[in-house]
Amino acid sequence: MKSPKSISRSEFLNQVGALGTVAALTQPALAKSRPVPDTPPGTVDRKIRLAVIGCGSVSNMYLPHLSKSPYVELVSTCDIIPERAQKAASKYNIPNHYPHIDQLLAGAPFDLLVNLTNMQEHGRLNKQALLAGKHIWSEKPMANNYREGRELLELAQKKQLRIWGAPAVVMSPQFAFMAQAIKAGKLGKVSAAHAHYGHLGPTWSAFFYEKGGGSLPDLGVYNLATLTGLLGPARSVMAMTSIVTPTRKTDNKGDVPVEAEDNAMVLIDHGNGTLSHVQCGFNYFDPYGHEGTGQEKPTITVWGTQGNLALIGYDWAPFGVDLATAADEKGQRYVTDPSDYRWEMGASVIAEHIALGKEPLIQAEHALHVLEIIEAARTSGQTGKRVKLQSSFRWPLV
Ligand X SMILES: NC(=O)c1ccc[n+]([C@@H]2O[C@H](COP(=O)([O-])OP(=O)(O)OC[C@H]3O[C@@H](n4cnc5c(N)ncnc54)[C@H](O)[C@@H]3O)[C@@H](O)[C@H]2O)c1
| Identified binder of ligand X from the candidate list 119, 152, 367, 389, rule CB under 6 A | 119
Give the binding range for ligand X (CB under 6 A) out of 9-17, 47-55, 374-382, 385-393: 47-55
Query: Per CB under 6 A, does 348 bind ligand X?
Result: no
Question: Which of positions 82-111 make contact with ligand X (CB under 6 A)?
Answer: 84, 101
Nearer to ligand X, 146 or 395 (CB): 146
Q: Binding residues for ligand X, how many (CB under 6 A)?
A: 23
| Identified binder of ligand X from the candidate list 50, 78, 239, 278, rule CB under 6 A | 78
| Identified binder of ligand X from the candidate list 118, 126, 250, 274, rule CB under 6 A | 118
Query: Per CB under 6 A, does 126 bind ligand X?
Result: no
| Identified binder of ligand X from the candidate list 7, 24, 30, 80, rule CB under 6 A | 80
> Greatest CA separation found in the chain?
62
Query: Per CB under 6 A, does 301 bind ligand X?
Result: no
| Identified binder of ligand X from the candidate list 34, 46, 121, 191, rule CB under 6 A | 121
Minimum CB distance to ligand X, residue 79 (Å): 4
Minimum CB distance to ligand X, residue 12 (Å): 28
Give the binding range for ligand X (CB under 6 A) out of 36-44, 54-62, 64-72, 129-137: 54-62
Query: Per CB under 6 A, does 139 bind ligand X?
Result: yes
Query: Per CB under 6 A, does 288 bind ligand X?
Result: no
| Identified binder of ligand X from the candidate list 79, 148, 262, 315, rule CB under 6 A | 79
Give the residue nearest to ligand X (CB): 56
What φ, ψ does residue 240 adopt, rounded to 5°? -125, 140
What are the residues whose beta carbons fall under 8 Å from the beta carbon of 315, sequence distance 6 or more? Answer: 169, 172, 174, 175, 195, 197, 222, 223, 226, 299, 300
Nearer to ligand X, 205 or 295 (CB): 205
| Identified binder of ligand X from the candidate list 33, 46, 56, 277, rule CB under 6 A | 56
Query: Per CB under 6 A, does 204 bind ligand X?
Result: yes
Distance CA 52, CA 78 (A): 6
Minimum CB distance to ligand X, residue 167 (Å): 8
Minimum CB distance to ligand X, residue 327 (Å): 39
Give the CA-trace dihedral at 119, 123, 124, 128, to 10 degrees.
130
β partners of residue 266:
239, 278
Minimum CB distance to ligand X, residue 280 (Å): 13
Nearer to ligand X, 175 or 207 (CB): 207
Give the binding range for ligand X (CB under 6 A) out of 16-24, 72-80, 277-285, 326-334: 72-80
Interface contacts to ligand X, rule CB under 6 A: 53-58, 78-81, 84, 101, 116-119, 121, 125, 139-140, 204-205, 218
